[in-house]
Amino acid sequence: MSDRSLPPRRPRSAPSGRQASRPRDSSPQRPRKKSNSQVGWWILGLSGGGLVLCILCCGGLMLAAYQQVEAEARLRQEQAAKVAERTGSLRAAVAAHASTLGPPQPSAGPPPEPPPGSEFALVSYPAPVGELPAYLTAEVADGTIDPGEKRPAIVWITGGDSNTIGPVWGPQERENDQAASALRDAGIVMMFPSLRGGNANPGQREGFLGEVEDILAAAEYLARQPGIDADRIYLGGHSTGGTLAALVTERSDRFRATFAFGPVADIRDYGGSYIYHVPQDAADEAIVRSPGYWLNDVRTPLFLIEGELGNASSITELAEATDNPLVHTFIVPGADHFDVLAPANEAIAQEIVADDGPTCEIALSVDALAEGR
């Protein structure tokens, strides 16, 4: 609508002498009809009042919801603080916890064999529940790697059903590169382990608990392979895999550094998905599975990364939960939960390749993660 100002009103002229008197109309006066403009203003007033009332109601509901979320967060923090005070660390808390699991989940079937000439081969590694399948860089699996190279390696945990592995080879979409192809393209050895209860595996899914032990077993298997620098094994994961990666780093210093994309602070934020204990809302079960309460246990660099349009609120929550200098949080502007992966992993790959000193010297920035440098 264009902004057109009304013309100035003309001032009334002062009376010059006496005006002729008008005959008074003695007939009954009819009620004056409201002009169209008056009706319009009346309708507009009603509409505006309704809008104001709607805004006030919505604002009140939003405030009540926010207060409820804040109260729930405080309760969770208080419950976790009691567990931490009693046990001293996540590792001790897990050792003292007896988890109650629901019925086993249906089998997803064995992982498919990579096609001939693939970058990966299907192997198995010994875990606490038995032999578990994994995808491993082919030249390591078939023994063609130069054993004198001592290359860096990374264990990568995929998102969603992290217990199960599927095709990770071939070209990946840049907008959703959940196989972290920039790492393999940089010559970094990669291992994608399946976990207990996934695929057709032995054991039962525990949802962010026993799976930590499987990932640590995968790291030990990887360290024994020819051509691998056992002191330069890293850990990475996306989404649920990022949550698992953070938990591993809170329970062990086995990995040189960890890159966790899009984790949650508390697994109850998954709304029941990927939760296999019963009851699902049990606080004691959630606390030992949630990285947001144990960041002070981290003893090797942990990089928590998410896109601004993704699960950024959890990164903020994790950042506010600790002052541990080994925990680094990054929210990448303009990126979401998926397209943050490709450029960020390009930057991470460069850092891993250059990180060949006695201690980890990896340094990341928001700009580097956004631009892939």
The answer on pLDDT for 21 being more than 80 is no
Q: What's the pLDDT tens digit per position in 172-211?
A: 999 999 999 999 999 999 999 999 999 999 999 999 999 9
The answer on pLDDT for 19 being more than 60 is no
Q: Regarding beta strands 151-157 and 228-238, do their DSSP bridges make them parallel or antiparallel, or are they unpaired?
A: parallel
pLDDT band at 36 (very low <50, low <70, confident <90, very high): low
Q: Regarding beta strands 189-193 and 258-261, do their DSSP bridges make them parallel or antiparallel, or are they unpaired?
A: unpaired
Rg over alpha carbons for the chain, rounded to the nearest Å, is 31
The answer on pLDDT for 116 being more than 90 is yes
Residues paired with residue 328 on neighbouring β-strands, in sequence order: 303
Structure tokens at 255: 């990995």
The answer on pLDDT for 371 being more than 80 is yes
Per-residue b or e along 255-277, where b marks 16 or more CB atoms closer than 10 Å to that residue's CB: bbbbbbbbbbbbbbbbeeebbbb
What average pLDDT does range 106-130 have in this prediction?
96
CA–CA distance from 321 to each of 9, 125, 257, 265, 318 (Å)? Answer: 64, 35, 20, 9, 5
**Mean predicted lDDT score pLDDT of the chain:** 88
In the chain, % of residues over pLDDT 70: 83
Cβ contacts of residue 73 below 8 Å, gap of 6+?
Answer: 317
Q: Regarding beta strands 189-193 and 130-137, do their DSSP bridges make them parallel or antiparallel, or are they unpaired?
A: antiparallel
What average pLDDT does range 137-166 have in this prediction?
96
Per-residue b or e along 239-249, where b marks 16 or more CB atoms closer than 10 Å to that residue's CB: bbbbbbbbbbb
**Per-residue model confidence (pLDDT) at position 278:** 96
Q: What's the pLDDT tens digit per position in 45-65?
A: 656 666 667 677 777 777 776
Residues 290 and 267 sit within 8 Å (Cβ to Cβ): yes
**Per-residue model confidence (pLDDT) at position 360:** 98
In the chain, % of residues over pLDDT 90: 76
- Strand runs labelled E in 42-115: none
What average pLDDT does range 1-25 have in this prediction?
40
What average pLDDT does range 340-365 have in this prediction?
98
Element (H, E) at 141: helix 138-141
Structure tokens at 227: 């051509």
Report how far residue 182's alpha carbon sits from residue 343's, in angstroms, rounded to the nearest whole number: 8
Per-residue b or e along 92-121, where b marks 16 or more CB atoms closer than 10 Å to that residue's CB: ebbeeeebebeeeeeebeebeebeeeebbb
Q: What's the pLDDT tens digit per position in 212-257?
A: 999 999 999 999 999 999 999 999 999 999 999 999 999 999 999 9
Q: What's the pLDDT tens digit per position in 256-305?
A: 999 999 999 999 999 999 999 999 999 999 999 999 999 999 999 999 99
What average pLDDT does range 323-331 have in this prediction?
98
The answer on pLDDT for 368 being more than 60 is yes
Q: Which residue has the higher pLDDT, 306 or 38?
A: 306
CA–CA distance from 269 to each of 3, 20, 274, 336, 370 (Å)? Answer: 49, 84, 11, 18, 26
Structure tokens at 328: 């680094």
Residues 114 and 179 sit within 8 Å (Cβ to Cβ): no
Residues 205 and 276 sit within 8 Å (Cβ to Cβ): yes
Report how far residue 122's alpha carbon sits from residue 109's, in angstroms, rounded to the nearest whole number: 14
Element (H, E) at 192: strand 189-193
Q: Which residue has the higher pLDDT, 2 or 246?
A: 246
The answer on pLDDT for 70 being more than 80 is no
Q: What's the pLDDT tens digit per position in 80-98?
A: 889 888 999 999 999 999 9
